[in-house]
A and B are shown apart, each in its own frame.
Chain A
Amino acid sequence: MADKKKKKLTLTQQEYQQLAKRHEPPRPLTRNFIRAFLVGGVICLIGQGIQEMFIHFFDFTEKTAGNPTVAVLILLSALLTGLGWYDRIAQWAGAGTAVPVTGFANSITSAALEHRSEGLVLGVGGNMFKLAGSVIVMGVVAAFAISLIKTLINMGG
């Protein structure tokens, strides 16, 4: 996609973009990678802990404990978002908070929170999936395509 755009640029534009690139402070990759790894790992650790708690104290099995664990993590993320703390942690952690299901919950909650001023139906209801929508749509479409192919192969073979 980027190359297609570059080919349409004039020489002056290309030269300018090279100049501009030199003035761009580089993203602190090592720092961001370490933070993402650590925070992501810790969140999964917390998830594991919650899962163990459901198995040992609430009689869930390993198979069934996954759902309440995810629900608890979502609740925590929603609360942190409402309290205004989530985005500060996320600026530091990057993908570490965005990639776990906490990021999914934050995207839904933050959109709902932001558009509260437009009312519950149109504001909250109509905008809740502004960010999470692409994740759900792409996931469902991909799962549909892949499972369709697999099922057809299984039926044919």
Chain B
Amino acid sequence: MTFLWAFLVGGAICLVGQFLLDVMKLTPAHTMASLVVAGAVLNGVGLYEPLAKFAGAGASVPITSFGNALMKGAMAEAEKDGLIGVITGIFEVTSAGISAAIVFGFLVAVCFRPKG
């Protein structure tokens, strides 16, 4: 069942992205930035976590989850350490994604050449 929701929710978020690209004529960078901010906002109003619970990868794979993860890190740290946690905790949860992207991106750049 989670698989069906993963497919539907993931597809729907990508649909929103396509809308921003084709109808609102945003650049890919603007589109992705908007979606990340949307993820952070949805976490802020308490909607992203419930979505992640029933949609599984449908909510954790799209770039919106990056905004959600940044918020989770910041809020968790703020609960522990107070206001300063907002700064110190931001990258706690997203560390895997960013580190993986940097490391694998670097390795591929070393081993491959662009094909044009």
Contact = CB atoms under 8 A, between A and B. Distances in A.
Interface of A: 27, 29, 32-33, 36-45, 47-51, 66-71, 73-75, 78-79, 81-84, 94-96, 98-105, 108-116, 120, 124, 128, 131-132, 134-136, 138-140, 142-144, 146-152, 155
Contact of A99 (B7, B62, B101, B109): B62
Interface residues of B, number: 75
A104 B57 contact: no
User: Secondary structure of the B side of the interface?
Assistant: helix
A41 B3 CA distance: 10
A143 B67 contact: yes
Nearest to A135: B32
B63 A120 contact: no
B108 A112 contact: yes
B67 A40 contact: no
Given A44-B11, A103-B63, A113-B114, A150 B97 contact: no
B64 to A, nearest CB: 8
A95 B28 CA distance: 9
20 contacts: A37-B14, A40-B62, A44-B7, A47-B60, A47-B61, A67-B96, A69-B60, A75-B100, A78-B104, A84-B116, A95-B31, A100-B14, A101-B65, A102-B61, A116-B113, A120-B110, A128-B102, A131-B29, A135-B36, A155-B82
B61 A70 contact: yes
Interface in B86-110: 86-87, 90, 96-98, 100-102, 104-110
Contacts of A51: 56-57, 60
Interface of B: 2-3, 6-23, 28-33, 35-37, 39-41, 43-44, 56-58, 60-63, 65-67, 70-71, 73-75, 78, 82-83, 85-87, 90, 96-98, 100-102, 104-116
A113 B108 contact: yes
User: Secondary structure of the A side of the interface?
Assistant: helix
**Considering the complex of A and B, which 4 residue pairs feature the smallest CB-CB distances, nearest first?**
A40-B14, A44-B10, A41-B11, A95-B17
